A and B are shown apart, each in its own frame.
Chain A
Amino acid sequence: MSQDHHHQELGFIQKYIFSVDHKVIGVQYGVTALIFLFLGFCMMMLMRWQLAYPGEEVPILGGLLGSGWLPDFMSAGDVDASTYNTLGAMHGTVMIFLGVVPLGVGAFGNYLVPLQVGAPDMAFPKLNAASYWTYFAGGVVMMLGFFMPGGAANSGWTSYPPLSIFASNGQTVWLVGMVLLITSSLLGSVNIIVTIIQLRAPGLSFFKLPFFVWAQLVTSFILLLAFPPLEAAGVLQLMDRVAGTSFFLPTGLVQSNMPLEIAGGGNSLLWQHLFWFLAHPEVYVLILPAIGIVTEIVVNNTRKPLYGYKTLVYSGIFLGFMSFLVWAHHMFMTGMGETMSDFFQVTTMIISIPSVVVLTVLIITLWGGSIRFNVPMLFAVAFLPMFAIGGLTGLPLGLTASDIYFHDTYYVIGHFHYVVAPGTLFALFAGIYYWYPKVVGRKMSSFWGKIHFWGSLISINLVFFPMLLQGISGLNRRMYDPTFYEHGASIQSLNVIISYAAWALGLVQLIFILNFFLSIKFGKKVGDNPWQATTLEWATPTPPPHGNFLSEPTVYHGPYEYSVPGRTEDYLPQHVQA
């Protein structure tokens, strides 16, 4: 560190706001993403009010939000149809593109990848900062929609045309925001890939990398190759909206009984193809970093080597590859034809194989271990059955025969939320509890952590399991009044239960927020390696200084040398010569 003293002269702004240190940028990503997750959660809670008590004024918030400073938003104090559409579209968009991905890739990837490969920083520190600020700008631009006439985007997170072309200007802002977010992701993923390929410490061959790094590598490649087609689609949709082209508008469209004055000749399904070419791989962008986090934590807390490391790596790569070949399973109901449907049914069944392999590897790893059930481990272990439920409920959606029935019902909502909420979100919580001591130097309270865990586990299942039942009863998704049809009205009590569970879930998260902030000051102080872990990030001082390692580490072992015979300690760090 001797050459590094000039860094201390940096002022607060340079050090914490416009920093180029990957750890500061990781924390910036993390905090911003958590704020957006919270916003997305609040939008959902408003929707849950409407779903439980259709048409009734929202207590307190109805007056606050509906007083007119947000144009066309809850104007009468209740969540009316157009407000519900806005909330639905923005909840989905915010959760995925502004919350979970920036947390999984931007925050965890940024903070941990250079540490775990033994590098002083990312390959391109300035590009890294640019990536964060582009993300920030994209988020802000999207949120501006709420202040525009007609409100924010309201055509679903999928933005299907023709509806989205004629939607209010919130949709234009949504598109501009998306282009910024895509740019940010591309910058970030180039950086991560170059860092992993070029900057590994001496001795750290690819098959000695922690699985988390592999997961980030595959995720970055997915982002790199899947996002640009959505950017293309976004540009085309912008042209349709702003320059009057008809790329997605077929001939003969009629609006309010008037033929539209457009050239026509476009193709609405084209958007769906381009969109899902990104958005299915996006699912793996949500889940792979989560699997990476869970793997690290499960192995660390079972205190024995990972069962089938190479199997896991090859499954991850295969998942990444296959994720590009299944997109049209979201389009079985569009009449795209039997040949297409058959092809995508087969690929969808194939992609479930590596997912099952991943789960099996992790479950066998648990087998016979002397497991430590600390807070990160609780979340990580709970991830496994939650992800399994999410995955298994997906199979009927991947087969056309059953998808005819389930398509666009709450069964779909239940299915994918099991993957992203009790699945990915739990993994992200696990990661926060696990790496917090490295970032802050103190542990988060495990008493409150356990309450947070059990409270979340119970309430989140009470939220999403009933949704599967609603879907089986045929309740349609994206309906602002679930009692409109008889088949919905007869099971309305489920909606009330779900909403109570969702608010309980919200309350429990307050515990997490308090624990998160208070532990910065009051948490238990810990040393450099509080979990007795093997990977390189624990070989740094706490918190790691600018430049990370005191001297360049050399790697001698694989990532998970736990319970090595003949040693007094039950773990052998990667950089320690045995």
Chain B
Amino acid sequence: MSDTHANTIAFVRETQLPPSPPPAAETGAIKWVRENLFSSILNSILTLLSLLVIFMVLKGMVPWFWNSTWNANSLSECREAGTGACFAVIRERWPQFFFGFYPSTEYWRPLLTFVLLFPALAPILFNKVPQKALFFTLLYPFIGYWLIWGGSLGGPVATLLGVVVAYCVYRTLVAQAPVIALLASVAAVVIWMLFINGFAADALAGVFGAGLEEVDSRNIGGFLLTMILGIVSISLALPLGILLALGRQSDLLIIKAICVGFIEFIRGVPLITLLFVASVLLSYFLPPGTTFDLVLRVIILITMFAAAYLAEVVRGGLAALPRGQYEAADSLGLDYWQAIRLIIMPQALKISIPGIVNVFIGLYKDTTLVSIISMYDPLGVVQPILADSDWNGILWELYGFVALFFFISCYSMSQYSRYLENKLRTDHR
């Protein structure tokens, strides 16, 4: 057979051909387009329709942005100058959007607070940052409070002292009875705030002098108010939510009942109701003469609201953990809090990250509800502009600007949560 072979075949290639590239239809952009956009008749129709929609939207928006006006004093001037958007209103009113009615000479204070926020958050968000930086994170609330509300440095220092005292109480008692130590330190904080803080603040004010110009809570508004409400409530709601979730699982019946009652009550009541409680009703319940800052009241209620939702999200994470993890922790001799802190919570929180961030984003956007109790959050700032005869009829630009701010904040949170999920992925499924 092989003898005849050479005779029957006219040509035999003696060298191997170099590999040739795949046909154009199988590579690169064309292949991708064909596989993803025109893989079937239906898919082709949908692609064309979508392109049409995108075209229509862009056709409307591009000229609107392109012909926008930044220099004008009223809407009518805008309309004369150009056919597009009238961003002049934002140019004119941006201080209110950012700071509300914060005194304009003092804008550096909220700005500095904002800048300091990053080093304060870094050790919490990224564990590459040395953990010693946490010391600054602990001081940040006092610095931020002083910068924004002003007054003598004595106030924040007095409160800080109260916290230090409570911490010392905790440290001295924790070895004997952790629960009692915790209760005692909480009691210490309460006693300090009710009876000692005022005197201490006055005494320290003598030492530190008058400090910064005081700013009333009523004058804080705009994105500044949103950030204060959002960041403070988020950082308080997470620990509270975790405690509520643990309490709901507890074997101690009273604690369990309190937690369940709290969660169900808060979840069953609209946030607006709670905000009205914060702005109006609390002053009936509190002893007359108690000055209880409105921002603080709102923060407390938003925190409670978010904590109730977080508790349920975290409970879901706890329920997803196999019993074996608790048993392994127990069998190694870890006590309850060690097991929770080192074994259970890291895993339960990791599972719950999407849900937790969901609650955070919801909370952040819900802070706009405070405009209902006449606080000047970004939406509250929009109202008087709408009523202003100069700008009457302008709408898209204002709400679009507010939306952009919220989108940037919320999108950052969601991106961070994806980063965190990837970083914590150790299960290698």
Q: Do A and B come from one complex?
A: no
